[in-house]
Amino acid sequence: MINFNVPPCADKAMEYIQECVRNQKICGDGAYTKKCSRWIEEKTGTAKCLLTTSCTHATELAALLLPDIKAGDEVIMPAFTFVSTADAFVLRGAVPVFVDIRPDTMNMDEKLVEAAVTERTKAIVPVHYAGVSCEMDTIMEVADRHGLAVVEDAAQGIMSTYKGRALGTFGNFGCFSFHETKNYSMGEGGALLIRDEKDVEEAEIIREKGTNRSKFYRGQIDKYTWINYGSSYLPSDMNAAYLYAQLEIAEEINEARLEIWNRYYERLQPLAEAGKLDLPVVPENCVHNGHMFYVKAADIEVRTALIDHLKEKGIKAVFHYIPLHTAPAGQKFGRFHGEDKYTTRESERLMRLPMYYGLTLAQVDEICDSVKDFFG
Ligand X SMILES: *Cc1c(COP(=O)(O)O)cnc(C)c1O
For ligand X, what does the binding mask look like between residues 119 and 138, x meaning CB under 6 A? --------x-----------
Give the DSSP H/E element, type plus range, for residue 122.
strand 121-124
Stretch that binds ligand X, among 63-71, 78-86, 228-236, 347-355 (CB under 6 A): 78-86
The candidate with the shortest Cα–Cα distance to 256, out of 155, 315, 187, 183, is: 183
**Count, residues near ligand X per rule CB under 6 A:** 14
> Which one among 179, 207, 288, 296 touches ligand X, defined by CB under 6 A?
179
Q: How far is the CB of 219 from ligand X (least distance, A)?
A: 32
> Which one among 33, 177, 212, 246 touches ligand X, defined by CB under 6 A?
177
Q: Which residues contact 190 (CB under 8 A, 6 or more apart)?
A: 51, 52, 53, 54, 55, 56, 57, 58, 155, 175, 176, 177, 178, 179
Stretch that binds ligand X, among 53-61, 115-123, 228-236, 253-261 (CB under 6 A): 53-61
Strand partners, 173: 151, 194
Q: How far is the CB of 178 from ligand X (least distance, A)?
A: 6
For 271, which DSSP code? H
Q: How far is the CB of 294 from ligand X (least distance, A)?
A: 13
Contact between 173 and ligand X per CB under 6 A: no
Contact between 190 and ligand X per CB under 6 A: yes
> Which one among 121, 156, 185, 347 touches ligand X, defined by CB under 6 A?
156
Query: Environment class of residue 292 by beta-carbon count within 10 Å: exposed (0-12), middle (13-18) or buried (19+)?
Result: buried
Contact between 80 and ligand X per CB under 6 A: no
Query: Environment class of residue 286 by beta-carbon count within 10 Å: exposed (0-12), middle (13-18) or buried (19+)?
Result: buried
Q: How far apart are CA 275 and CA 166, in angstroms?
A: 34
Q: How far is the CB of 127 from ligand X (least distance, A)?
A: 5
Q: Applying CB under 6 A, which residues contact ligand X?
A: 54-56, 81-82, 84-85, 127, 153, 155-156, 177, 179, 190
